[in-house]
Amino acid sequence: MALQLDLKQTNTIEPGPVYKVLNEITYAEDIAAEVFVFTTVDQEFSHVASVWDLMNLPVGHAAAVIAGTDRYRKDTAEVGYASVDTAIEFAEYVRVRIQALLNAYKSATEDFEGITDYVFTPS
């Protein structure tokens, strides 16, 4: 497997000021592109997905409503902050969590499976 996610981050300043970070997965290989988790009730960004989220949460708000789940996944997430420092920290958080997700996904889907023979002798 050649796991890959390409992330495009667009930072903007809007009146207020509001410092917005738009995260978009522009390419995904051997993993779902929908790695951003949102709450179903208020449709607010919650977190970058875990392996469990990828395997269990539906894609899109409508699918979450139909399935009766409290969260769902999307391939984009835009979040705004009143502080530029918080927005910068959020952008970094997203990058770090996506890398961690890829590592965990590889471990769960590739590294775990297989057969290993062990031979034990008296020590």
Domain boundaries, the chain: 4-111
- The pLDDT score that the predictor gives to residue 116 is 80
- The pLDDT score that the predictor gives to residue 1 is 63
- What are the start-end ranges of the H helices in 50-123? 51-56, 61-67, 84-106
Confidence category of residue 95, pLDDT binned at 50, 70, 90:
very high
Kindly state the percentage of the chain with pLDDT values over 90: 84
Contact 21, 94 (CB under 8 A): yes
pLDDT in tens, 50-70: 999 999 999 999 999 999 999
> What is the pTM for the complete model shown?
0.88
